[in-house]
Amino acid sequence: HDVGERISWTLRPVISVKLDNWVKKRAAMQDVCSNCHATGWVENFYKQYDLTVDLYNEKFARPAKAIMDKLHADGALSATPFDEKLEWTYYELWHHQGRRARMGTAMMGPDYTQWHGFYEVAKNFYNEFLPEADHHQPGISKEVLSQDWHRWKAGLKPGELESILKFYKERYKQ
């Protein structure tokens, strides 16, 4: 009974990666899931799981890692680990908050995915990590914030807010 034989992602590193033989491992896990759940349910779980891990990787993990790598390469951070606040903030971002979001999804724990995961990831990323990175190297967050993922930080274009409000009023009949 080695669960590791059926795990397709490793959620431990800064950026999650699919393991060697992940297709075979996933098929083995899906066989276990299918003992109780319908095929469509299992397929939908894995679609949601993969999209969640990809969201975390692309929106937060890769940009944060790129910033940290650049700060180290440029000498804006010392070579001594954890002697600057930003290094602690980054560690909390990926090791605690990011893992909770990813593992919450893996274990079907919506509170851990959202409130103890992505909410805290976003709060930390935008309100702590990026400002601290800019403190060490002014303007380093500009490229990240210009990406589509983060466009909302610059504000909505005229008419976008009205469109969003209209969508939700129609959806929830309010």
Flag whether pLDDT at 57 surpasses 90.
Answer: yes
Cα(117)–Cα(127) distance, rounded to whole angstroms? Answer: 15
Q: How many CA atoms lie within 13 A of 6 on its CB side?
A: 12
Q: Looking at the domain assignment, is residue 76 inside a domain?
A: yes
- pLDDT at site 161: 87
Number of folded domains in the chain?
1
**Which of 3-7, 78-82, 122-126 shows the lowest per-residue confidence on average (mean pLDDT)?**
3-7
Q: Looking at the domain assignment, is residue 35 inside a domain?
A: no
- pLDDT at site 30: 95
Question: How large a percentage of the chain has pLDDT more than 70?
Answer: 99
The SS3 call for residue 17 is strand
Instruction: Tell me the pLDDT band of 1, cut-offs 50, 70 and 90.
Output: low
- pLDDT at site 152: 86
Provide the residue range defining the domain that includes 136.
40-171
Q: What is the mean pLDDT of the chain?
A: 95
- pLDDT at site 131: 99
- Residue 125 tokens, joined: 């990323």
- pLDDT at site 77: 98
Longest distance between any two alpha carbons in the chain, whole Å? 57
For 93-113, what is each residue's pLDDT tens digit?
Answer: 999 999 999 999 999 999 999
What does the pLDDT average to over 52-74? Answer: 98
DSSP letter at 107? T
Does this model's pTM top 0.85?
yes
For 3-44, what is each residue's pLDDT tens digit?
Answer: 888 999 999 999 999 999 999 999 999 999 999 999 999 999
Flag whether pLDDT at 171 surpasses 80.
Answer: yes
Q: Looking at the domain assignment, is residue 32 inside a domain?
A: no
Q: Looking at the domain assignment, is residue 133 inside a domain?
A: yes
